[in-house]
């Protein structure tokens, strides 16, 4: 007998933080730079003067919130930067409660949730903390997997302060799903999707999972396909193609699971078979693209290792691979190397001309 729902625990396998960083200045209680000081985040300020303690704390807050959307590989450097800023901010008298807020973020991304909870609860005892929606939401994010009822209370306080914030609405949706209140979960996550301006894939992914749990299989497939399309748009604009190809595969796997549920539970519906076949073909196409990227990476290592000794054949294979995977500028450079190796190569000359025309066609009119 085929299951008609996925386990509720699956709904919680979502990354906690899915918001775009907002300026720390959204709270009137946050520290402000001294009048007349123009802050440059990279150097401190544009006059070469040392940062004041207030400026350092303000920058530490913004950097801490930026941890939410920073790639894991880049987080250690940002954490180190925050530590340097806090060293300067530690000169404030009396000590600012915002230091606890910053440390909560640092501990959260450093795998120390207990310390993070202690930090944020301390901050929330202050007036600044009670009035800042992001602090309540952070506590909800830290509690939601193990203590969804406590998390709900935190998210609810955050909603009272900022009722159209997608990440807060998403947190409430997760709480509702854990409690089995699936209609309320659908309502909250739908509101999050409507309010979101960043195409946050995890919201749509989560909605598809809820439809699966409700046994609304076709709706689950359609929603999962929307998540696939969202990742595809990001893939077209990204230099990190491999990461997005893997994400596309994950969304396709969800859609295929929903399609399989549709076929199993409603076998007389033709649409289930049509969707399943289409998704299988699409997933295979993306798997081939990922494999081609792997092949290009191997060829890149060969070309770098061999240098001038690289043969015409391997240079051509490498250039072709770059062109086929959309790495146009690198492909042009690789074909130019092939042309140096084989000046009579009409193929290399034609490819360079073709790719350059594509680059020129893609440039905005004002940049030409």
Q: What is the pLDDT along the chain (368 residues), one digit of tens a residue?
A: 333 333 333 433 333 333 333 333 333 345 443 333 334 444 444 455 678 999 999 999 999 999 988 888 899 999 999 999 999 998 888 999 999 999 999 999 999 999 999 999 999 999 999 999 999 999 999 999 999 999 999 999 999 999 999 999 999 999 999 999 999 999 999 999 999 998 899 999 999 999 999 999 999 999 999 999 999 888 877 767 777 888 899 999 999 999 999 999 999 999 999 999 999 999 999 888 888 889 999 999 999 999 989 999 999 999 999 998 888 899 999 999 999 999 999 999 999 999 999 888 866 655 54
**Count of domains for the chain:** 1
DSSP state letters, 89-114: HTT-SSPPTHHHHHHHHHHHHTT-HH
pLDDT at position 92, please?
87
- Tell me, what's the pLDDT at 234? 85
Give domain status of residue 328, yes or no.
yes
Distance of alpha carbon 33 from alpha carbon 297, whole angstroms: 47
pLDDT (0 to 100) of residue 44:
45
Structure confidence at residue 73 (pLDDT): 84
Res 122: pLDDT: 97
Whether residue 99 lies inside any domain: the answer is no
C-alpha–C-alpha distance, residues 351 and 250, integer Å = 34
Q: How far is CA 133 from CA 26, 61, 244, in A?
A: 10, 14, 31
> Is position 349 within any domain?
yes
Is the residue at 345 inside a domain? Answer: yes
Does residue 28 lie within any of the structural domains?
no
Contact 14, 206 (CB under 8 A): yes
Is there a contact between 67 and 109 (Cβ–Cβ < 8 Å)? yes
Owning domain of residue 325: 310-367
- How far CA 245 is from CA of 147, 257, 278, in Å, comes to 34, 18, 18
The answer to whether position 223 is within a domain reads no
Beta strands in the chain (DSSP E): none
Does 279 map to a domain? no
Does residue 323 fall inside a structural domain? yes
């Amino acid at each position: 007998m085929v299951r008609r729902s996925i386990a509720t625990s699956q709904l919680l396998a979502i990354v906690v933080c899915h918001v775009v960083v907002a300026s720390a200045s959204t709270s009137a209680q946050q520290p402000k730079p001294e009048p007349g000081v123009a802050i440059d985040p990279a150097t401190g300020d544009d006059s070469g003067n040392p940062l004041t303690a207030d400026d350092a704390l303000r920058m530490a807050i913004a950097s801490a919130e930026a941890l939410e959307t920073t790639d894991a590989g880049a987080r250690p450097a940002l954490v180190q930067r925050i530590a340097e800023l806090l060293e300067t901010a530690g000169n404030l008298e009396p000590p600012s409660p915002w230091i606890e807020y910053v440390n909560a973020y640092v501990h959260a991304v450093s795998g120390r949730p207990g310390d993070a909870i202690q930090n944020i609860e301390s901050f929330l005892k202050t007036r600044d903390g009670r009035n800042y929606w992001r602090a309540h939401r952070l506590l909800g994010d830290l509690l939601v997997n193990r203590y969804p009822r406590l998390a709900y209370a935190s998210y609810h306080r955050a909603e009272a302060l900022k009722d159209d914030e997608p990440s807060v609405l998403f947190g409430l949706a997760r709480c509702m799903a854990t409690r089995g209140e699936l209609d309320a979960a659908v309502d909250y996550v739908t509101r999050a999707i409507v309010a979101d301006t960043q195409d946050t894939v995890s919201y749509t992914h989560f909605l598809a999972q809820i439809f699966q749990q409700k046994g609304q299989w076709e709706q689950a497939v359609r929603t999962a396909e929307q998540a696939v399309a969202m990742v595809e748009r990001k893939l077209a604009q990204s230099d990190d193609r491999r990461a997005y190809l893997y994400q596309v595969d994950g969304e396709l796997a969800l859609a295929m699971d929903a399609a399989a549920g549709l076929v199993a539970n409603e076998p007389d519906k033709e649409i289930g078979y049509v969707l399943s076949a289409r998704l299988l073909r699409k997933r295979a196409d993306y798997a081939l693209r990922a494999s081609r990227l792997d092949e290009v990476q191997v060829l890149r290592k060969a070309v770098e290792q061999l240098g001038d000794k690289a043969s015409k054949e391997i240079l051509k294979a490498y250039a072709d691979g770059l062109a086929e995977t959309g790495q146009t500028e690198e492909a042009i450079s690789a074909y130019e190397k092939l042309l140096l190796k084989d000046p009579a190569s009409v193929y290399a000359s034609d490819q360079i001309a073709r790719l350059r025309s594509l680059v020129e066609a893609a440039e905005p009119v004002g940049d030409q």
